[in-house]
Amino acid sequence: MTLAQEKKLLKAPQGKKNMEDFLPSTYVTTEMDEYATTESWDYDYDTGPTQPTGMCERSWVRQFRGGYEPPLFWSIFLLGGVGNLLVVWVFSTARNRLKTMTDVFLLNLAAADLLFLCTLPFWASDADGGWRFGRALCKSVSAVYKINLFSGTFLLMCISVDRYVAIVQVAKAHNRKEQRLFYGKVACAAVWALSTALAVPEFLFARVKAGPNATSFCVMVYWNNGGNLSKILVLSLQICMGFLLPLVVMVFCYSVIVRSLLRARNFEKHKALRVILVVVLVFLATQLPYNGLLVLEARQAANATVTDCATVQRLDVAGQLAKGLAYTHACLNPFLYVFVGVRFRQDLLGLLRSGARRLGKDGIPKVHVLPPRPSLATDTETTPALSL
């Protein structure tokens, strides 16, 4: 903080001399998705028409975050945990369940969502009363969050490619089924490796920063080099790899699938079209607002364009709302990609019936054989219904 800014802080009214409530823009070091304090935007208030003092009071934004994020994150954690645990249970229990490339992707997607959900209680606690878990855990939780953010979107992209092959190139998909299963496992290993590499900035920049009232927050503190270059690069990497690339691939694959289904004379094609439309719209609805604000944040870091304090406060709140909306995708994935599948529902019902019949009326366990799996004709490999 410069000498002039320190003098302005000393001249502030009594009751408003909290340094965090009048944080200068040069000290704003976090991005919206890193669960920082409310100082998420690197705006230069010195040039703002309504903020000649260079300070912007944000305590009410911090209070909004403390009341909004904890209940939302806990709800996502509980609902998403139940859905994804059910997916993992069925895939790991039903005999020979992992027989297709899609099965491998869906199991890994559920695992990625579960690991992502495990980070939410930490961020809920951070929003409620600050970070209480130390610097090492701050870096670790931030990295785990980012690894599963990337792996989740990459796996959604892989699922769209697999559906393209299974529906548009049916003959090749059927003849090379064993090879595709192997390629699916290799693709998942590559997804996890790439996601881990993309999470390196979390290990570099995540740290615990002192906040108001003897509290601390787990935030991203970027290197101050040449106009926030490090922050711009990290945000650009997340936007391009975590949103634009999967979106382009999904739109291309599903567009070709839709064109193929429209040509087919199949009574199930209308159901398949609805599933595709819902998948794409949900991805856009949950991820587009969040990444749009990240674009604005990267632009702001490159060249400050927003200087009005009221606008900055609204953008802070919008960032929190968009972040919460993006996280709901972890709850929706089981319903969008798994529960709609015929095979999954049959396997789930078979396991439930098996569990109900294992205990007879006298409490003696009984052996029950799972019902036979549906024929290949109902599998994703050969049906245009997108049933998994």
What DSSP string describes 146-200? HHHHHHHHHHHHHHHHHHHHHHHSHHHHHHTHHHHHHHHHHHHHHHHHHHHHHTH
Tell me the per-residue pLDDT of 127-137, one tens digit each, with 9 for 90 and over.
Answer: 888 898 989 99
Q: How far is CA 300 from the centre of its chain?
A: 23
Mean model confidence pLDDT for the chain: 75
- State the average pLDDT over residues 248-253: 93
What pLDDT digit, counting tens, does each position of 108-165 carry? 999 999 999 999 999 999 988 889 898 999 999 999 989 988 999 999 999 999 888 8
Overall average pLDDT of the 246-251 stretch: 93
Question: Which pLDDT does position 173 carry in this prediction?
Answer: 67
Predicted pLDDT at 227: 57
Contact present, 209 and 219 (Cβ < 8 Å): yes
Q: What is the pLDDT of residue 304?
A: 67
Most confident of 48-57, 145-154, 309-318, 343-352: 145-154
Q: Give pLDDT, residue 18.
A: 43
Q: For residue 253, name the pLDDT band (cuts at 50, 70, 90).
A: very high
Confidence of residue 168 (pLDDT cuts 50, 70, 90): confident
Give the total residue count for the chain: 388
Task: Compare 95 and 122 and report the one with higher pLDDT.
Answer: 122
Residue 55: pLDDT over 70: no
Condensed to tens digits (0 to 9), the pLDDT of residues 1-18 reads: 444 544 444 554 444 444
Over residues 182-190, mean pLDDT: 91
pLDDT, mean of residues 332-342: 79
% of the chain beyond a pLDDT of 90: 28
Asked whether 101 and 184 are in contact (CB, 8 A), the reply is yes
pLDDT of amino acid 15: 45
Whether the predicted pLDDT of 191 surpasses 90: yes
Going from the C-alpha of 8 to that of each of 20, 23, 55, 305, 362, the distances in angstroms are 14, 11, 9, 23, 80
Q: Which amino acid appears at position 315 of this protein?
A: L
Give 363's pLDDT tier (boundaries 50, 70, 90): low
Per-residue model confidence (pLDDT) at position 266: 66
Cα separation, 327 vs 322, whole angstroms: 9
186 against 11, higher pLDDT: 186
What are 282-327's pLDDT values in tens digits?
888 999 999 999 988 888 877 766 667 777 788 888 888 999 999 9
Name 217's bridge partners.
Answer: 209
Mean pLDDT for 97-111 is: 84
User: Residue 349 burial (CB < 10 Å; 0-12/13-18/19+)?
Assistant: exposed
Q: How far apart are CA 1 and CA 24, in angstroms?
A: 8
Kindly tell me if the per-residue pLDDT of 338 is higher than 50: yes
Q: What is the mean pLDDT of residues 257-284?
A: 78
Residue with the bigger pLDDT between 294 and 172: it is 294
Class of domain 27-339+374-378: mainly alpha
264: pLDDT strictly greater than 90: no
Comparing 44-58, 153-167, 266-280, 355-369, the range with the smallest average pLDDT is 44-58
Choice between 57 and 205, residue whose per-residue pLDDT is larger? 205
Q: How many CA atoms lie within 13 A of 216 on its CB side?
A: 13
What residue ranges do the domains of the chain occupy? Answer: 27-339+374-378
How far apart (Å, rounded) are the C-alpha atoms in residues 301 and 268? 49
pLDDT digits 0-9 by tens, 209-224: 887 777 888 988 888 7
Over residues 70-83, the pLDDT tens digits come to 999 999 999 999 99
| pTM (two decimals) | 0.76
Residue 51 clears pLDDT 50, i.e. is over it = no
